[in-house]
Amino acid sequence: MSKLLIVESPTKAKTITKFLGREYKVISSFGHIRDLPKKSTAVDVKHGFAPTYEIPVDKKDKVKALKDAAKGVDDIYLATDEDREGEAIAWHIAEVLKLDPTTAKRITFHEITKSAIAEALDHTRRIDMRMVDAQQTRRILDRLVGYELSPLLWSKVQRGLSAGRVQSVAVRLVVERERERQAFKTDEYWSVEAILSKSNSEFPTKLVAIGDRKIDKLDIKTQAESDAVVSAVRDADFVVKSIEKKAASRKAPTPLTTSTMQQEAYNRLGMSAKQTMTLSQKLYETGRITYMRTDSTNLSEQFITATQAFIQAQWGNDLVTGGVRYQTNKKGAQEAHEAIRPTDVNATPESLRAELEPGMWKLYDLLWRRTVASQLPSAKLERTAIDFTANNHTFRGNGSIVVFEGFMKVWQASEDKILPTLSEGENIGKAASVTPEQHFTEPPARYSDASLIKVMEEYGIGRPSTYAPTLNTIETRGYVLRDDGKRLYPSDIAFVVTDLLKEHFPQIVDYDFTATMERKLDQIAEGEEKWKEVLGDFYGPFHEAIIGKGAELTRETVMKVTEIGIDPESGKMIVARTGRFGPFVQVGELSPDKNAEKPKRASLEKNQTIDTLTLDQALKLLSLPRTLGKHTNGDEIVANVGRFGPYLKCGAINITLPPEFHPATVSIEQAIMLCTDGVAKKIKAMTPLAELGIEPETKANIVIKDGRYGAYVTDGKTNATIPKGIDPKTVTLNDAIDLLVKKRKAPKSRWKRKSSGDDE
């Protein structure tokens, strides 16, 4: 008896094949095999929002392979992921293979292990059309919003822009945080720290009171006040005024969900949300962890039992809890019902270090430790606060010791300072040092991947499968940028589009509305809402607003002009606005006279925004392009800012200007040095290491060049890296042709499942 099992990922197929007998053939669909065509809305709003699906050109071969594999088999199992997206993929496969959704054999599993696959095959079910309806509703919603709202943005703001039901709300969060920062007024304050010591053990203390007056964080406003404190206590003895000890406990952390995994991976490992999801997908598909799209903190009884046995064997009875169970309060019908955990607790990170690639290992280590920690007892600490008095000034030292490690044995170590043993009334003498320190209040921090995902989850915006794609979308489409600390801040276009949507399409960027729509999608999946009714309630008012605002709005009312200041040379007003190619500054206004000289303009630099641009910065930009002089070889050197940032034009060659130099201030001497070095590097990069000859079939000239990632062969169109360990000097024409042929036949990109969170 022959059986066909269809999954959506080739890696998943490879892993499952290991667990099944010869009668099974496992094949991958490589994600979705049907989608809404890109050339039209493909949704018939007049006839119940009926979608029209097509097989994309790049999936036709995959569909043919599925059909061929399905011929003559006795049983077909649809084994795609267990969330809504996986359910929809299974339904599309059934439709293409002409399987009856009411009788097609659907199997799901939370982990890719032999026992889980066997259990799933013993308990097949039907395709859950409620989950399919929920996925279709999200897809249709995103298509209607994207295809009707985006063209309005093109005509009123800028070509190429997009809007989406989830992405636009995420952009609004980033914009509003930046405006909080811009409106923030910085205050100066001072603190005073005294380093005390006993028995060669030094510890820090901070000023907390002067006489009976408590000193709060912002109470000392000037250096004079802090200097007065230093003068008062510098030569005074410090006497123990009071000692307070408290027993405290720290609860074990919960197991990880999609959101908390992304947050912890960012905070502890510096991984972006996209990187975290890519690595966790690999760990899941290779059978190392359970399904990674979930908002549940539950753990299976079988895993809890195995973990308690592991803990007892590893560390003894003191750390055995009998099992800790967590209850998830959130309802997320599309998601799995267990937290992200290792499939086998005995597969410790140390045992897998040589097997897993570095990124996968780091994430597995984090997941393993967090899961095991959740099954360990609370940590017990003793917190100590000691107050010292010196010339009527009170300083406090805080510290703690870990009495019982508990979960800290695997998850984290206490970083609290340990204070020496002291008694009330004890005089420990003068301070080793008394130091005032100036501080300034800081605005709210820009969002990181972790903090933006956290606030999106708090608002109920999106679901586990949508966080990473949403962040990726708003960044790749130019709505958000990253500062030196890799935190997110909005581009000028983000301000313009957010203001437009808030004023004229408030539902699209309303936090409560977006969260309510997510709940409605959950209710569709649970059978509590009808998908066509949900779409109808949304689309009618939305479509009418698009028609009305399209006629009412003009580009002039949307694209506001900001006055920066007076140009000292011409006496005209310098204004800033956003144009077709981004934000720019301009001296004066454009004259209606076509023969009049056009006003001078200059693009803003990558890290500049209209809202924060100063007159001095604007004048620097308008001073460009700036002719510096001539190189020793006679070429003219010009400094300017272009599409890809600041650069030097050295004759006919452009050289990127390093960040430590600015085109408005770089000197001719510096420019000559940079041009000499940069031109030499470009000429070297352009000059082939070797010319191998003509490829007979394509008639192309094959050469070897030195690139950023090492030597490679090229025919002018296709580049193929020369493998490590092979000396470029030994590569022959036939070797090069083989490399190029292999590269041409290779897939253009790796398989990637399109998430339902990808807005149009």
* Whole-number Å distance between alpha carbons of 44 and 661: 56
322 CB burial (10 A radius; 0-12, 13-18, 19+): exposed
* Whole-number Å distance between alpha carbons of 56 and 70: 20
Tokens of 174: 């980033």
Please calculate the CA angle 731-735-738 and round it to the nearest 5 degrees: 150
**DSSP 8-state assignment for residue 355:** T
Residue tagged active-site, from 77, 291, 447, 467: 291
CA 432 to each of CA 79, 234, 241, 390, 665: distance values in angstroms, whole numbers, following the listed order: 69, 9, 19, 13, 47
416 CB burial (10 A radius; 0-12, 13-18, 19+): middle
Bridge partners for 242 per DSSP: 387
Amino acid at 136: Q
CA 558 to each of CA 175, 498, 719: distance values in angstroms, whole numbers, following the listed order: 17, 11, 45
Alpha carbon 268 to chain centroid distance?
A: 14
79 CB burial (10 A radius; 0-12, 13-18, 19+): buried
Give the CA diameter of the chain.
Answer: 95
Q: Is 467 assigned a catalytic role?
A: no
413 CB burial (10 A radius; 0-12, 13-18, 19+): exposed
Nearest-10 Cα torsion for 61, 63, 69, 74: -170
* Whole-number Å distance between alpha carbons of 156 and 152: 6
Catalytic residue numbers read: 291
